[in-house]
Structure 1
Amino acid sequence: MTCRTQDLTITPYPSYQRYITESRRTDAKALLMTAAGDLERCYTRINDYEACFGDLNVSGRESENKFYIIIAPEEDDLEPYLYVLSAEPQGAQERDKDGCGTFTLTHRGERGAGADDCW
């Protein structure tokens, strides 16, 4: 009987871990959407995304629960009329084995990640 009890308590753990990992991905999505909104508001004022990146300190911005951080393009790669934001996993989220990894969002609203079903 002890063996069955152990099996029952161990079996759900991987499913729970997968659930936690997947739920943390919302942290990346929220971070990117917030940063994109900030960039769009800035762009309506000065018509230059490149200047907005500096004004808003977008690069290095952490998600609310610190599972993701925004990595902005290198300064030489910034363009005044477009952007690509990337949210890289941090800490425990770096072990996300389902392939989502880094999330991206562009000025056109195009979304990307390591796998097709991440967004």
Structure 2
Amino acid sequence: MDRYVRSTRRAGGFTLIEVMVVVVIIGILASIALPAYQDYVRDSKRAEAKAALSLVAQRMERCFTESNTYVGCYGGATVNSDSGNWVVSITESAASYQLEADTSAQHSDGECDPMTLTNTGATSPAACW
């Protein structure tokens, strides 16, 4: 008699519906996480540009206190940020300077490219500072 008893145990594995539910959940999580990650990366690159501009501005001001002119502090050179995402261009005259942080083509930040800082502390674009 025992040999004719049918087993009620289910075979192992996942059904198609279970797999599709998991795929949908992963898709929803990815659609939320990816834009948040991109915003985080963009904000960190902007913070890096601000830091690079501030560092060069401090050095320009230190040079001005020593020589009473901004000319010759960097000699119109460019300064790269530590990661290489930004290049700071320096335009200087005897009484003023303007620093411009520009991204490379592969790391472009449309609305905040370039970011500028002057000797008066004026910054642009305002929304990026």
Same fold, TM-score > 0.5, yes or no: yes
Quote how far apart the aligned CAs of 1:12 are: 1.5
**1:111 Cα deviation from its structure 2 partner:** 1.1
1:36-71, Cα deviation, whole Å (9 max, x unpaired)? 1111111111111112232xxx62211122211111
Runs (4+) of structure 1 exceeding 3 A deviation are: none
Q: Matched residue of 2:101: which SS?
A: strand
SS at match of 1:36: helix
Deviation at 1:91, TM superposition (A): 5.2
The structure carrying a bigger strand percent of its residues is 2
Gaps of 5+ in 2: 1-20
- Aligned residues between the structures: 108
C-alpha contact (below 8 Å) 1:68/1:87 kept by paired residues: yes
Secondary structure of the equivalent of 2:102?
A: strand
From 81, 85, 94, the equivalent of 1:63 is 81
Tell me if the contact between 1:62 and 1:68 (Cα under 8 Å) persists in the aligned partners.
yes
Query: Which of structures 1 and 2 has the larger relative contact order (alpha carbons within 8 angstroms, sep 6+)?
Result: 1
Across the aligned residues of Structure 1 and Structure 2, the Cα RMSD in angstroms comes to 1.7
Higher radius of gyration, 1 or 2: 2
Is structure 2 residue 47 aligned with structure 1 residue 33?
no
Alignment of 1:1-119 (within 5 A): 1=21, 2-54=23-75, 59-73=77-91, 78-90=92-104, 92-94=106-108, 96-97=109-110, 99-113=111-125, 116-119=126-129
CA distance in 2, matches of 1:69, 1:63: 6
Taking the aligned partners of 1:36 and 1:27, their CA distance within structure 2 comes to 14
Q: Alignment partner of 2:80: what SS?
A: coil
